C-alpha cells in the first residue's frame, strides 16, 4: 500500500489516536492536518498502535472487517471496506453493563463472528477457503466508537483509529458453518425492547465469509495472516445504532440465538 508519511509523523498520529482512545476525547479527523494521507498511512498508524499495545502486554485475539455492508458504507459515506485489530481486553461478557464514560460515540451493530481452526492467509483468499478454515461461527454485538468529532469521516482517519474498534460481546449459540444458511440469516437489533434495525447476513458482501476473505486479502497486503484460533468479526449487517447510559440492547439472530448487553 502506498504511504506518504515519514516515521515521525506516523508516531505523532499514533500518539494522537492513543490519547483519544484512552482519554475518550473526540479529535478532528487526521486528514485536516495531513490532507495527503493515504489508506496505507492509515494502516501504518493502526499497526503502530497495535505494536505499542502488544508491547504493553495486551493480547490480540483477532481482527475485524468493517464497512463491508452497503448500510454501513452509506451511513459513513465511504466505499472501501477496512480492517481493524481486536484485543482480548476489548471483550465484554454477555449480559454485563458496558461503561460509556470511557467511550466517545458508542454505537452498536450486529455481526457474525468466525473462529478459525486453521490459519488463513493470501491475496487470493476465497469464501470457500474461509469456510474450510472455520471451526464455528457465533453471533456478536460490536460496540464501535469513532473518536472523530462530529462523525467527520474519511478512510485514512478511520483506519488509523483502528476502524472505530472499542468493545465486543458474543453470546447465543456457536455453530459449525455447514449447519447454517450463513448468507440468509435474519437479524433484528432491539433497543429498549423495540426493533431499531434489521437485516440479513447477505448484507455483508453477499455472504459473511466474503467479509472474512476480504479481511484476509487486506492483511496479505500488509504482510500478515490470521493464525489458527483467530476470532474474526465479519462486519456490521445493519447500520450502527447510537447508545447511551441506561440502554438495553439485544441482537436476535436466526438460528444463532441472541446476544444482549446493557449500557451504564
Ligand atoms: C467504522 C467501523 C465499521 C463495521 O462493521 O462496518 C465496522 C465505523 O462505522 O465507525 O466496524
Ligand atoms: Mg463492525
Dist. CA 244–CA 224, nearest whole Å: 36
Nearest residue to 84 (alpha-carbon basis) of 50, 135, 127, 107: 50
Instruction: Give whole-number Cα distances, 68 to 6, 14, 132, in Å.
Output: 30, 25, 21
**Number of the ligand closest to the Cα of 75:** 1
Q: Which atom of ligand 1 is nearest to the CA of 236?
A: 5
Dist. CA 20–CA 6, nearest whole Å: 21
| Ligand 1 site, residue 240, Cβ cutoff 6 A | yes
Distance (Å) from CA 10 to ligand 1 centroid: 22
Dist. CA 147–CA 153, nearest whole Å: 10
Distance (Å) from CA 5 to ligand 1 centroid: 24
Give me the pLDDT at residue 57, please.
Answer: 98
Distance (Å) from CA 140 to ligand 1 centroid: 14
| Ligand 1 site, residue 158, Cβ cutoff 6 A | yes
Is this model's pTM higher than 0.85 or not? yes
- Cell output for 104: 466517545
Handedness of CA 144, 238, 119, 220 (dihedral sign): negative
Give me the pLDDT at residue 99, please.
Answer: 98
Dist. CA 104–CA 165, nearest whole Å: 12
Distance (Å) from CA 64 to ligand 2 centroid: 7
Give me the pLDDT at residue 153, please.
Answer: 80
Nearest residue to 171 (alpha-carbon basis) of 83, 96, 238: 96
Contacts with 102 (C-beta within 8 Å, 6 or more apart), sequence order: 24
Contacts with 246 (C-beta within 8 Å, 6 or more apart), sequence order: 262, 263, 264
> Residue 125, class by beta-carbon neighbours within 10 Å (0-12 exposed, 13-18 middle, 19+ buried)?
buried
| Ligand 1 site, residue 42, Cβ cutoff 6 A | no
Give the pLDDT of the chain (264 residues) as one tens digit per residue.
Answer: 999 999 999 999 999 999 999 999 999 999 999 999 999 999 999 999 999 999 999 999 999 999 998 888 888 888 889 999 999 999 999 999 999 999 999 999 999 999 999 999 999 999 999 999 999 999 999 999 999 998 778 999 999 999 999 999 999 999 999 999 999 999 999 999 999 999 999 989 999 999 999 999 999 999 999 999 999 999 999 999 999 999 999 999 999 999 999 999
- Length of the chain counted residue by residue: 264
Amino acid at each position: 500500500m502506498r504511504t506518504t508519511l515519514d516515521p515521525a509523523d506516523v508516531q505523532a498520529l499514533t500518539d494522537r489516536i492513543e490519547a483519544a482512545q484512552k482519554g475518550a476525547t473526540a479529535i478532528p479527523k487526521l486528514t485536516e492536518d495531513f490532507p495527503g494521507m493515504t489508506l496505507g498511512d492509515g494502516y501504518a498508524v493502526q499497526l503502530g498502535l497495535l505494536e505499542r499495545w502488544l508491547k504493553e502486554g495486551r493480547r490480540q485475539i483477532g481482527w475485524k472487517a468493517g464497512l463491508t455492508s452497503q448500510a454501513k458504507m452509506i451511513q459513513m459515506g465511504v466505499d472501501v471496506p477496512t480492517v481493524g485489530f481486536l484485543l482480548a481486553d476489548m471483550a465484554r461478557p454477555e449480559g454485563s453493563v458496558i461503561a460509556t464514560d470511557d467511550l466517545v460515540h458508542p454505537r452498536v451493530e450486529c455481526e457474525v463472528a468466525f473462529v478459525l481452526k486453521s490459519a488463513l492467509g493470501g491475496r487470493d483468499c476465497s469464501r470457500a477457503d474461509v469456510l474450510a478454515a472455520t471451526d464455528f461461527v457465533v453471533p456478536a454485538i460490536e460496540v464501535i466508537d469513532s473518536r472523530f468529532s462530529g462523525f467527520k469521516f474519511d478512510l485514512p482517519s478511520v483506519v488509523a483509529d483502528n476502524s472505530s474498534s472499542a468493545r465486543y460481546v458474543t453470546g447465543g449459540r456457536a455453530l459449525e458453518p455447514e449447519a447454517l444458511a450463513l448468507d440468509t440469516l435474519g437479524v433484528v437489533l432491539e433497543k429498549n425492547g423495540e426493533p431499531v434495525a434489521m437485516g440479513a447476513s447477505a448484507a455483508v458482501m453477499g455472504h459473511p465469509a466474503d467479509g472474512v476473505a476480504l479481511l484476509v486479502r487486506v492483511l496479505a497486503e500488509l504482510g500478515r495472516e490470521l493464525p489458527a484460533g483467530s476470532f474474526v468479526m465479519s462486519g456490521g449487517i445493519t447500520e450502527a445504532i447510537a447508545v447511551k447510559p441506561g440502554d438495553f440492547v439485544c441482537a436476535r439472530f436466526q438460528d444463532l440465538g441472541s446476544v444482549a448487553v446493557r449500557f451504564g
